[in-house]
Structure 1
């Protein structure tokens, strides 16, 4: 990562584009209250209308309260059934920063991994918007805005350590007013973090951050805790304000799904550190700009019903208990096969779905596209 020119009036954000980078529009106005001159490793000297980084400082009252809009400020936050749900083995997922590699290592045994069932509800990736529902000591109950569920109209609910979220109205405005960079790689890194004491996190698949500058090699993004950093342009898709990804084909969905072949199952998981069955299908569709419900039972009501004799790649296959309760979902990939994240003893993998369904639990298929 080469050093960047910083602190200019460009975009009103204390940043400039690298050489040859296209200009992006901004709806933010920079207050003309000071004149600061800054220079960087490039031979250009630029006059700034604002103090370096001023337009990236968080706007916050410094506390988390019921009704607030906040943002996830760790790589992946796990939402728990209640504050007493985490076990000793789950400690790496409770800090700031989180250590998800260690957590996965500590969950190597099938039984200890299966022990998450019923204790965790879902996860939310870095920068995700949440609504604060309740606070209790060092814990906060939130609803994840972009995960639809009948459980709460504000989003998928659950408890997390309060330190894993931040209130930052400026970040919220940037999310509305700037183009966005969406991580398409399984994992990427923030480099050149500036104008903040917050060290940020490690953005993973589907993380969306406001775009404030771009050159041929990297994009500059705003961070939920304030400040900005660079991400390798090869790891993201860039969308203008209001722009959506083009409608995918079923094969596009399958291609995205297959990059996670071999990833260990994780109850409640929605990230490249582990998926549960519906977190996997939810995340693959979301990567292509299509929102479906978070849980399998609700996904089974989305889209339109399709016969098992007329399946196409990208269709969702559902499996139910004898009482009719949907308990599993996978994605059809063609040729009689599906890709899925089945249980704590397995990884994401491809199977002949009829041979896999030894209990004859298939309960229907839905087409979302």
Structure 2
């Protein structure tokens, strides 16, 4: 079945970048828009200013579903990322543009496994040649048969034959909602990852992307942007937070612009610690909350447990 407006498709690359428009793509972005989407090369080629350009909206993982809205003759597709809630933009999901070559029309089978490694590689045969490197934490797969010598055959969009994933790097997709501390432990594994505006990968990530990806590992879909996350979570009184809850930040008269995980119980004299993707320091950091950050702290929220696969939007 070919790609067509009005139909769903799935991402066939390890990470497809969602753009504000085809005209926003810069020469430095070429590795990210090719049919194989070389995200490490893309990230390493950008300077500090290019890393935070708002031409990037988000990223979608291998197998993630989109609704195609428009296909252009130049190879671009306008889509809605239906697994990334964005209530303020579109009730169906996050809207943006992708190269159509990064999509496949095949409908995915129900996933039973999720990548638990920060990154892994899929192979053509058990333990054989790498067929798809850089598969990302939180990517979901359906198995196509039994494991063989520690390798599991999985269905991969854009590949006619199954590829093989190391059983060590996969885990069954949970059927129960995780605890906040379990999610925090996953987020901590991304400590020191580079800050990339719109990033949702271990090669580069932003503040809300860190929260979205850590919860995604457990099959829970949270909104993609910080302000939507604030509206979809449960407010607490400052001082009642626990590790794994979420801090939110805003300047006077403006909407929420930053988010981070509570990474330690609050201490005396207002001491607070946070794991977050820091725009100013351009890294994921676990650090005490600095006075200038405290000045914009507007709340702490908790993710209410949801059924796995449900959306908090």
TM-score, normalised with respect to structure 1:
0.75
**TM-fit CA distance, 1:113:** 1.5
State how many pairs are aligned. Answer: 290
Tell me if structure 1 keeps the 8 A contact 2:139–2:217. Answer: no
Alignment of 1:1-369 (within 5 A): 60=1, 63-107=2-46, 109-114=47-52, 116-117=53-54, 119-137=55-73, 138-150=75-87, 151-169=89-107, 172=108, 175-176=109-110, 179-192=111-124, 200=132, 202-215=134-147, 217-225=150-158, 226-239=160-173, 244-335=174-265, 336-343=272-279, 345-355=281-291, 357=293, 360-369=295-304
1:355 CA drift (Å): 3.7
Structure 2 distance, partners of 1:366, 1:299, is 9
Question: Which is further off, 80-89 or 302-311?
Answer: 302-311
Deviation at 1:290, TM superposition (A): 2.3
Question: For residues 202-245 of structure 1, what are the alpha-carbon distances to aligned partners after superposition, in whole Å with 9 as ceiling and x for unaligned?
Answer: 32111111112232612110111132111000101124xxxx44
Unmatched segments (≥5 aa) in structure 2:
266-271, 305-313
Matches of 1:193 and 1:95, distance apart in 2: 25
Structure 1 residue 344: Cα displacement? 6.3
Larger radius of gyration: 1
Q: Secondary structure at the match of 2:138?
A: coil
> Cα–Cα, structure 1 residues 222 and 193, in superposed 2: closer, same or farther, change >3 Å?
farther
* 1:247 partner SS: coil
Give the CA deviation at 1:289. Answer: 2.7
In structure 1, distance between residues paired with 2:80 and 2:288: 36
Task: Find runs of 4+ consecutive structure 1 residues off by over 6 angstroms.
Answer: none
1: CA distance, partners of 2:226 / 2:217: 18
Could you say what the CA RMSD is over the residues aligned between the two structures, in angstroms?
A: 1.8
Residues 123 and 132 in structure 2, CA contact (< 8 A), matched pair in contact too: no
Alpha-carbon shift at residue 324 of structure 1 (Å): 3.0
When normalised by structure 2's length, the TM-score is 0.87
- With a CA cutoff of 8 Å and minimum separation of 6, indicate the structure with the bigger relative contact order: 2
Contact preservation (8 Å) 1:74, 1:164? yes
Using the TM superposition, give the Cα deviation of residue 145 of structure 1 relative to its aligned residue in structure 2, in angstroms.
1.7
CA–CA distance in 2 between the matches of 1:201 and 1:139?
Answer: 24
Which whole-Å deviations, capped at 9, do the CAs of 1:21-55 have from their partners, x for residues lacking one?
xxxxxxxxxxxxxxxxxxxxxxxxxxxxxxxxxxx
Q: 1:78 offset after TM fit, Å?
A: 0.5
Partner SS, residue 323 of structure 1: coil
Q: Following the alignment from structure 2 to structure 1, what is the Cα–Cα distance between the partners of residues 33 and 165?
A: 26
Residue pair 2:120, 2:133 contacting (<8 A) in 1 also: no
Assess, with a 3 A threshold, how the Cα gap between structure 1 residues 322 and 301 changes in structure 2: closer, same or farther. Answer: same
* Matched position secondary structure for 1:188: strand
